Each structure stands twice: as structure tokens, then as C-alpha cells.
Chain A
Amino acid sequence: MLAETSAISEEFLRQLTAVGEVDILVGIPTFNNRDTIERVVSAVQVGLTKYFHRERCVLINPDGGSTDGTPEIFKNASVEDFGMLLTSNPLRTFHRVTAPYHGIPGKETALRTLFTAADLLRAKACAVFSPDSLSVTPEWVDSLIRPIYREEYDFVAPVYQRQKFDGLLGRGLLSPVIASLYGRRVREPVGTELGVSGRLACHFLESDVWEEDLTTFGLEIWMTTTAIVDQFRLCESFLGPKVQAAKQFGQDVAGTVQQVVGALFRCLEMHESFWKTRDGSEALPMFGFQYKVALEPLRIGKKGVLDNFRSQLDQLVPILESILTPQTLLALRNIAQLTDRDFRFPDELWVKTIYEFAAAHHRSVINRDHLLRALPLLYRGWISSFILENQKADGARIDQRLETLGGEFDRWKSYLIDRWGADIGGER
């Protein structure tokens, strides 16, 4: 047993001891989610009863100190009459544990608590659900747990149906970089839901990363890339449309870009010896029935975002000079001069920009936090171009376009390797 029981509170430990060993553990970390938690708990409960009614299951709620009564709602949320929803009632006692966790409220502490609990309870499969998913269905439980419990996979990444311009940071940066460097095409490397085998949960617990600050969004990237590097079996599961409640932590786009990309760059450093010797990429096996529903289109203020890029790029030049090569910086300044109609951020330029940022981050050419805060503006420039270019394209066309972009990340991998150890100062 690897679990450090100090990671969980006495009260939590007492409740876990009462549960005994389990087959499946489902975790729903919360922090002031009273409006949405009941629906998620009900969906999970129905899902477990429908698809895993013979297994010993536990539903765990590590709470970050909610003040709106979320833990009470979690405890009391129940499906009154399974007969109305299913043909049978659950065969085993359905355990439910809720307790505040130790440490700073955040996803990393919550996940550590869940993995510790999985280790203590010897769970074979774990699934984590976001407490503010509005589109969660009982089928998600099956999609996330079945590949682990029945097919012996170790890590299940979700695949959501998205509005065509939704989640572009993941689809236009994180996913292609991970595919090019780590050799696995993971469509949602920062999905809010995921499935993990008990074996992999223990492996994650062994890492020192919990003592570091990988931030709220960074942990998923670390888990995904670590599972790839350490040769665990990965797959994807289609969950359906992703609809989330309003932002919980007031996370802005700039902050999100900074955190997520920062975590990716940290992972590149950790796994340097792996990705430098890796070639090509392969798709992950896909589970779940794929379907499409009409999604409410996003209202996008393209003009504002593009104007922001144009007006602020020159202001940022003194900082970008330390990060980018003169050629890349010149190309960026040139595209900023283009008219709305002609504005395009070429794929090659986007790829080189990201790779130069990664290399500059590795060499710490300036304070890393400052370096990452210079990226959101360029991301805004890229999404403006992507939206302008694909305004009339449908979802399939967008996917094709993103595949082409992925190819460009593959093509320039050697450029990243060259820049990784280069001395920019020496070139000037």
C-alpha cells in the first residue's frame, strides 16, 4: 500500500475504513457546487446501478471547504425510485463518503485524496467527475469505467462533442503538441472527467509532483503524459456534448492559457529523454457510442480579440525579443499589419511560436511566469485567424483543419529539439 494516510483527514479515514474494499471508486471533488452537484450525483448513482450493479462501489466527495452546503446536498442526493429509471434495483450497498480534505483547496489536493482513497480501498477502477457538468448522463459512468474494469486499460481520456470553436487551446495547441512529442493522439488532454485504474492511481501517488505547483489545469496534462511515458494502456471514451455551469473560479482566458501551457512545458522538461527519441503518433482506441446533437453556437467577438492582438503586439515586443527568434518576431509583427479580411496566422508560424516558447521556458530566458503571460496575446491572434478562416466550415472540416495543424507540429519537431539547447543570446 502506497497511500500516505496523512493526505486525508481522520474523519475521512474513519469513513473509508467503514467502507472496506471496493471494486469501483467514483470521485466528485467539489467546492461550492450546490446548484449542480445533485444532478451529477444522481447520474453517477444511476450509472453505477445500471452498469455495475454487482460490483462494490463507493462514491467519494472530497470537498475543498464549501460554504454553500454542497456536502450536505451530496449526502442527501438520491434516486428515490430506481424502478422508474431501471429494470432492477442495486444489488449491493452503495457507499457514499464526503469529507473536507487537507491542504489548499484545489483539484490537485482533491485528486490526491481520491487516489489515496483508491489505494486504501484497493479499488480496481476509479472515475472522476466534474461537479458542474450539466450534460452528465449515467452512460458516462460506463464509458469511463468499462474500459478499465473490463478491458484492462489504465487511463481513459474523455472525448466530448463540442461546438466547432470550443476548446481551441486544447485542440490547437495541447493535443497536437502531445501527439507530436509523445506519439499518442489524445483529443482532450485536459478533460474534466477521466478514468484511472487502481494500478495507475498508485503509480501517480508515488510521484513527487504533488509537492509541486502544477495548478488546477496542469494535473490532467501531467497524468496523461505520465501515463504515456510510463507505458500504461490509454484509451478514449466518447461522452457526448459537454455543457458546464458558469465558471466557478472566475478563471480568465489569459490565466488559463498561462496555467495549462505552463504545465505542458513543465511536462516537456520532465519527459525530455522520452519525447526527444520518439517518432510518429498513433490514435488511441475509442470506446462509447458516438452521436451528435445540435449545440448552441458560441457568440464570438472576433473583432475585439483581433484588435487586442494587433494593438498590443507592439507593446509586448521588448519581452518577446527575449523569447522568440528575430525571424519569428518579425513574422508576427508583419501579420499584425494585415487587414481583417487578409489576416492569417500561418500554421508554421504558430508552431514555431509555441516551440520557441517551450524552448525559452526550458532555458528560463526570463522569469517563467512572465514568459507564460506573454503567450495569451499570441493565442488570441491565432484563434482570431482560425475563426476567420473557418467561419463557414462545419465540424468535420474543422477537425480536418486541426489535423493539418497537427502535421505541422510533427514536421517541426526537430526545430524544437534544436532550439531546446540553443543560446538565443549568442545569435544576436
Chain B
Amino acid sequence: MKHLVLQSLDQTFGRFYGMVQQFLPHLLAMIIIVLAGWLVAIILKIIARRLFALARVNTLSEGSGITQILKKADLPPPLDLLSQLVFWVVWIAFILLGLDTLGIPELHLQISRLFLFLPQIFVALIVLFFGLLAANFFSRAALLSAVNANLPSARLVSGFVRFVIILLTIAMALEQLALAERTVLITFTITFGAIMLSLAIAFGVGGRTVAQTMLERIFPPPDAGKREEEKEKVEEIPPL
């Protein structure tokens, strides 16, 4: 009995030792790959930072409003953000490669799937980024136009523009990820349609006079020019 137990233990330890013996080189290879990846990622980060600085990314992003969005979201300046992105993309790629060397079939399958999914995630992130940028740009333009036209609730107009663009962006990003494509599309269509319909009803019922004024501005009655001229003369002072 004692002999059998010892034999069993010996076999188990032998198998374990064999497994460890087989696994250790893979683990060592993984650690080497991850460490090498970290080193490569750092080098690439430094190179990318210099290249982005040469391309005056910070100045360009200040002008286009990206810096302001990042500031609002408590994110670092674009130069830091982009170089960090390069670092993490490279290092994560090496980590996944390292994990793959462990030779675990299930893990290998999942990593392969993740690698296949990565381009979609990347494109979705780009869509989101540019969508947010466009939302910021156009909502600001709408706000300025509304303020200069002396429209009431200029910020509401601007907020609406931002909301619609962000909604569209999220729908596009989710579609890119192929996540519940039909649900997203239907939700977007319903939301957008509902907003437009409610606006049309509100404008038609509550703003008949405004609608009439706007239409008169587009299709002026014969004596409108004279009236407009008189009004302008009273309201505005020639600046030059």
C-alpha cells in the first residue's frame, strides 16, 4: 500500500516535473518577449514622440480644437497621448505574442480572435475620435452662428448639434465593431427620427410666426428689400 502511494506520488511529481520542464522554456521565452517588447515599445515611443513633435502635432491640434477636447476629458496633450498610444499598442502586441508562446491551445485561439478583432477596434476608436472632434467643431460653429444671429437658446442649438453628431458617431463605431448591428441601426433611426419629428411639430405648432419670418427671408415679398434696409439702418451701425 505504502509502495503504491509512493509510486503514485513519484509518478505525479514526475509528470509535474516533466510539465514544468516543458513549460519553463516557454515561460522564459514569454518573459523575454514581453521584456524585449517593453524595450522596443519604449524606443518606438521616443522615436514617435520626436516625429510627432517635428510634425508640430501640438500646434496643429490646438488649432483644430483637439487639445481642448482632451483637456476637458482630463487627458494629456496630443503629443503625449499619441506617443503613449504607440507604446501601448507595441507592448500589448508583444505581450500577446509572448502569451502565444506558452502554447496553450485555448489561449492561442482567443489571442488569434483578438488579433483578428484588433483592426476593427482600432478603426472604431478612430471613428470615435474624429466623431468627437467633428461634434466639438460643428457645435462650436453652431453656437457662434446662433449667437451672431441673436437666436434665443444658442447653447441649446449647439448642444443639439453635438448630441446628433455624437449619436451618429457612436452608431458608426458600434457598427464597425459589428456589435448588435441591427439594434444599433434601429435605435439610431428611431432616436433621430423622433428628434426630427418632435422638432418639426414643435416648430410648426409653437413657432408659426418664426416659420413665416424665415420663409419670408428665403422668399422675400416684393417690398421686403426696403423694409429690411430700414430695419438694418436702425439696428446696425456701419463698422467701417
Q: Which residues of A contact B (CB under 8 A)?
A: 165-170, 190, 217, 246, 252-254, 256-257, 260, 298-301, 304-305, 308, 311-312, 315-316, 318-319, 322, 363-368, 370, 373-374, 376-377, 379, 383, 387, 425
Are B239's CB and A256's CB within 8 A?
Answer: yes
Are B140's CB and A168's CB within 8 A?
Answer: no
Q: A300 to chain B: which residues have CB within 8 Å? A: 234, 237
Are B235's CB and A316's CB within 8 A?
Answer: no
Near A by CB (< 8 A), chain B positions 222-240 give 229, 233-240
| CB < 8 Å neighbour of B237 from A165, A217, A308 | A165
Closest residue of chain A to B63, judged by CB? A364
Closest residue of chain A to B235, judged by CB? A301
Are B148's CB and A367's CB within 8 A?
Answer: no
**How many angstroms from the CA of A366 to the CA of B65 in the assembled complex?**
5
State whether A312 and B150 are in contact (beta carbons under 8 Å apart), knowing that A319-B144, A364-B62, A367-B137 are contacts in the complex. yes
* Interface contacts beyond A319-B140, A367-B140: sample of 5 additional A-B pairs, CB < 8 Å, sorted by A: A298-B237, A301-B235, A370-B141, A377-B148, A387-B237
Q: Interface readout for B38-78 with A: 1 if CB under 8 Å, 0 if not?
A: 00000000000000000000010011110110010000000
Closest residue of chain B to A316, judged by CB? B147
Closest residue of chain A to B229, judged by CB? A246
State whether A318 and B240 are in contact (beta carbons under 8 Å apart), knowing that A246-B229, A308-B150, A366-B68 are contacts in the complex. no
Q: How far is the CB of B134 from chain A (nearest CB, A)?
A: 12
Q: B59 to chain A: which residues have CB within 8 Å? A: 364
Q: A252 to chain B: which residues have CB within 8 Å? A: 236
Are B239's CB and A257's CB within 8 A?
Answer: yes
Are B63's CB and A377's CB within 8 A?
Answer: no
Closest residue of chain A to B64, judged by CB? A367
**Does B173 interact with chain A (Cβ within 8 Å)?**
no
Q: A377 to chain B: which residues have CB within 8 Å? A: 147-148
Closest residue of chain A to B139, judged by CB? A318
Q: Which residues of B contact A (CB under 8 A)?
A: 59, 62-65, 67-68, 71, 137, 140-141, 143-148, 150, 152, 154-155, 229, 233-240
Closest 5 CB pairs of A and B: A169-B239, A364-B63, A373-B144, A315-B154, A254-B148
Are B148's CB and A373's CB within 8 A?
Answer: yes
Are B240's CB and A260's CB within 8 A?
Answer: yes
What are 20 A-B pairs at a CB distance below 8 A? A166-B237, A167-B238, A167-B240, A168-B237, A170-B240, A253-B239, A298-B233, A299-B234, A300-B234, A305-B235, A305-B237, A312-B147, A312-B150, A318-B155, A322-B68, A365-B68, A366-B65, A370-B140, A373-B148, A379-B239
Are A374's CB and B63's CB within 8 A?
Answer: no
Closest residue of chain A to B239, judged by CB? A169
Q: How far is the CB of B148 from chain A (nearest CB, A)?
A: 4
Are A299's CB and B233's CB within 8 A?
Answer: yes
| CB < 8 Å neighbour of B234 from A301, A322, A366 | A301
Closest residue of chain B to A169, judged by CB? B239
Closest residue of chain A to B61, judged by CB? A364
Are B63's CB and A368's CB within 8 A?
Answer: yes
| CB < 8 Å neighbour of A166 from B140, B150, B238 | B238
Q: B143 to chain A: which residues have CB within 8 Å? A: 315-316, 318-319
Are B144's CB and A370's CB within 8 A?
Answer: yes
**How many angstroms from the CA of A319 to the CA of B236 in the assembled complex?**
24
Are B233's CB and A253's CB within 8 A?
Answer: no
**How many angstroms from the CA of A167 to the CA of B240 in the assembled complex?**
4
**How many angstroms from the CA of A143 to the CA of B4 in the assembled complex?**
123
Q: A305 to chain B: which residues have CB within 8 Å? A: 235-237
**How many angstroms from the CA of A257 to the CA of B233 in the assembled complex?**
17
| CB < 8 Å neighbour of A312 from B64, B154, B236, B240 | B154
State whether A253 and B236 are in contact (beta carbons under 8 Å apart), knowing that A367-B137, A377-B147, A377-B148 are contacts in the complex. yes
Q: A383 to chain B: which residues have CB within 8 Å? A: 237
**How many angstroms from the CA of A319 to the CA of B139 in the assembled complex?**
11
Are A425's CB and B71's CB within 8 A?
Answer: yes
Which residue, A252, A254, A308, A311, has most C-beta atoms of chain B within 10 A? A254
Closest residue of chain A to B71, judged by CB? A425
Q: How far is the CB of B177 from chain A (nearest CB, A)?
A: 30
**How many angstroms from the CA of A300 to the CA of B235 in the assembled complex?**
6
Are B140's CB and A190's CB within 8 A?
Answer: no
Closest residue of chain A to B145, judged by CB? A373
Which residue, B143, B235, B240, has most C-beta atoms of chain A within 10 A? B240
Are A304's CB and B154's CB within 8 A?
Answer: no
| CB < 8 Å neighbour of B147 from A167, A169, A315 | A315
